[in-house]
Chain A
Amino acid sequence: MSGAPLLAVEDLTLHYATRAGEVCAVDGVSLTIEKGQALGLVGESGCGKSSLALALLRLQPDNAQILSGKVLLDGVDLVSLSDEAMRAYRWNRIAMVFQSAMNALDPVYRVGDQIIEALEQHVPSARKQLIERVQELYDLVNLDHSFIARYPHEYSGGMKQRAIIAMALACEPDLIIADEPTTALDVIVQDHILREFGNIRRELNMSMLYISHDMAVIAEVSDVVAVMYAGKIVEYGTAEEVFTRPIHPYTQALMSAFPSVTGEKHELATLGGEPPNPLGLPPGCHFHPRCPFATDICAEQEPPTVRRGEHWADCWNPPEEQGDD
């Protein structure tokens, strides 16, 4: 893929003010997503994935502050847009499947009406057509039409998630941000929805930022993968490169800890040590207190970027490059 990327994030830093102190959630993140490309974002719970996603839409909470950086969508910097101008981008150009249904669905309105409202702003049309469009979307995510007129509390967890996916797809955005969109779905429904998602994306050349802790799903949906640790992207590459030849020790640990439903039942691997303290990140490489390959320099200086073609990682002691076999 060539040409200017659809999305370019440049050196984005976001902090939260809390009673206990300043939390550095996103720490100088840069990444790009091409038109039609799917980027999988993985990383430990609390490493900053949702914070990054919300900042792209300028939906970060009140106690958050973007200290630096740009979010360029087709060259326009969203960080410096007026609130008014930003509103025109949400749903229409960038849509989001929130990690929680509660953040997305209003409990006092029927779910169908909420989707219609989003649609109406995009393509004002007659109510009948809007309802037909919602029915189409419900078919896509395996929801019964009778649920269009129901309230969020009448939906199961997975049904809510599917309604939100329908809502995000409604306006056919250029970029869809999906934050753990299938945590409440069984594997059959998940499989169906990911395939439909893939079809629509290919048809419309839609880009996607897909956040998940489920490495198997990431492997299936992503063209490229970014690995985040303590607010930083520590590794980036094509899905195949990152899964088969991970460079960063944290990525290696992620890959090896995956439990399986077939074959021998192994003892589950864990990452030793404690997750990083969000109020005081360790100096040098943030991963050094838990890293099996750490050397003295790791605790002192930020690691350099190791490049293997388009695939890169930040590490002082990367594994030897493997030849193709």
Chain B
Amino acid sequence: MTEAAQATSSVDSRPLLSVEGLHKYFPAATSRFRRNERFIHAVDGVNFTLAKGESLGLVGESGCGKTTTGKMLVRLVDPTGGHVIFDDGVGEPTDIATLHGKPLKEFRRHAQMVFQDPYDSMNPRRTIFDTIAEPLQVQQVGSLVDRIDRVTEMLALVGLTPPRAFLFRFPHELSGGQRQRVAIARALIVEPSFVVADEPTSMLDVSVRTGVMRLMADLAAGLGISYLYITHDLAVARYMCSRIAVMYLGKIVEIGDTEEILRSPQHPYTRALLSAVPVPDPTVKRPPVMIEGGVSTVVNPPAQCRFYARCPLADDYCKTNDHPPLEHKGQEQIVACYKA
């Protein structure tokens, strides 16, 4: 087992998902005629575990590989390398990364994804009812009447009331936040084992968002649904996730207990991230952020620490050594930095 995997073994002795050495490279050149030697290292050796009923937050810079990681867990993107061991305690543990055919189809029943952009994840010609009921239809759950009941109930739970005002409308006839809630309702209606939720509440105002977060948390507690919760909103991560993983250019640079990380972030990137959280008070002028925004793509990166070019603590040791390994720094905090 990897270091990251060991750190969470106290949460549950048998994790639902164990992600080991996960990679995804995309070709970087656009030429169709030359063989590609340059690759975007979108996800570059990621390890973590997800326990049954657990929510792991995944935060990090825009473009660092969060969505790609999430899509590999539900096999909407094929990994370049690595393993994703799925073990629901019922069937045999299986490696999702290499599944094909019927077993892959079987696996898909357990996994759902809430897409980052609720606009491009829905068929514009299907009504809201059809959209939400689709996973039920695919899995042939219940009669039409049952399905209408279930969909109506889900609509009410995500705050789309009265449900009859929404059932037979089309996705483009909804506001951004309403559509986002349709996506959540669709993912949760089949009571999956785990859900990759990619910025699922990013367009919701506080009060609606709190309701949706409660619903998701209740389902985690009641049905044991696990979430990989991708978000840039650290306050949301605080309320939804017992642990968070911080990603930077394809690598997890810090992972651990949420409160511990928020209280004492160890990695320089995590520290910068926390210092940049805006405050809801127009009279407060926040000090400038510790690091500048950078260009968030890595094409054939050098061996050294991924954060080297922007790190305020970087020195010669960082420059001449490989990217630092993840090591224990706190109780449950694991950090990849020579200086932490």
Contacts and interface: CB of A to CB of B under 8 A. Distances in A.
Interface string B162-175: 10111111001111
B278 A191 contact: yes
User: Which of B177, B239, B262, B286: most chain A CB closer than 10 A?
Assistant: B177
Contacts, number: 218
Interface in B261-275: 262, 272-274
Interface residues of A, number: 80
Interface residues of B, number: 76
Contacts of A243: 280-283
Given A149-B30, A259-B239, A99 B297 contact: no
Contacts of A262: 262
A215 B207 CA distance: 12
Interface string A249-289: 00001110111111001001111001101110000000000
A150 interface: yes
A279 B286 CA distance: 43
A288 B198 CA distance: 35
A36 interface: no
B256 to A, nearest CB: 15
Contact of B164 (A20, A46, A179): A20
Contacts of A158: 62-63, 232
A51 B26 CA distance: 38
Contacts of A51: 175
A124 B191 CA distance: 55
A21 B159 CA distance: 19
A220 B282 contact: yes
Given A45-B208, A186-B62, A99 B276 contact: no
B280 A258 contact: yes
B281 A219 contact: yes
A1 interface: no
Contacts of A259: 206, 235-236, 238-239
Given A184-B62, A186-B61, A189-B62, A265 B296 contact: no
B321 interface: no
Given A157-B116, A162-B62, A268-B213, A187 B273 contact: yes
Interface of B: 26, 28, 30, 59-63, 67, 116-120, 159, 161-162, 164-169, 172-178, 180-181, 198-199, 202-211, 213-214, 232, 234-236, 238-239, 259, 262, 272-274, 276-284, 286, 289, 291-297, 299
Closest 4 CB pairs of A and B: A158-B62, A45-B177, A192-B293, A100-B119
